[in-house]
Structure 1
């Protein structure tokens, strides 16, 4: 029942996993959050007054920022690679 513009979680997980059964590493979580943030950003361009979605988007961005800070502190190489793969600036 997902729309054609929704996030394809299985594809993202398979692209960013670090081992075969990986579904929750920081890399995967950041990639999933980035996809959802991009999806909601497009939604908010059309529906400017949807403040409930805006609040959720800000919470997701904050969660992604915290995960990126964790990754930066623990594995700087992986952090830089992930920023490049996801086209994030920092």
Structure 2
């Protein structure tokens, strides 16, 4: 009878160089996507702000809500069973819809520009 050959056991918490490299690339691409989105949002805010510390105007509220909605949508793509977040998302969408309706009645030209800029409706 021969002895069983012992296999080299790889520790569970270690990764190979290629796995680590691909993980780093994924993280880097996610960071660049986030920075691109953040810069786009900053550009929209600069475009629609009425003054330097503007946080309450309809336009700025709509832009910040859109940013939050997009982030939460990405979260829900991964975590499909997160029903509490889904409820929060629905509340944010409803709030944005109300703000857009108010903007449409007060300033239709800005409303049309925002819809196109943010890509909300087709």
Q: TM-score, normalised by structure 2?
A: 0.63
Using CA pairs under 8 Å that are at least 6 residues apart, name the structure with larger relative contact order, 1 or 2: 1
Whole-Å separation in 1 of the counterparts to 2:47 and 2:69: 18
When the two chains are superposed, the root-mean-square deviation of aligned CA atoms in Å is: 2.2
Question: What pairs with 1:48-63 in structure 2 (closer than 5 Å)?
Answer: 48-63=80-95
1:79 aligns with 2:116: no
* Larger Rg computed on CA atoms: 2
Q: What residue ranges of structure 1 are gaps of 5+ in the alignment?
A: none
- Deviation of 1:18 (Å): 2.0
Please show how residues 5-24 of structure 1 align to structure 2 within 5 Å. Answer: 5=34, 11=42, 13-24=45-56
2:7 alignment counterpart: none
1-structure distance, mates of 2:86, 2:70:
12
For this pair of structures, how many residues does the alignment match? 86
| 2: CA distance, partners of 1:75 / 1:19 | 17
Give the alignment partner of residue 100 of structure 2, picking from 58, 64, 68.
Answer: 68
Structure 2 stretches of 5 or more lacking a match? 1-30
Give TM-score, length-normalised by structure 1: 0.83
Q: Distance in 2 between matches of 1:47 and 1:20?
A: 37
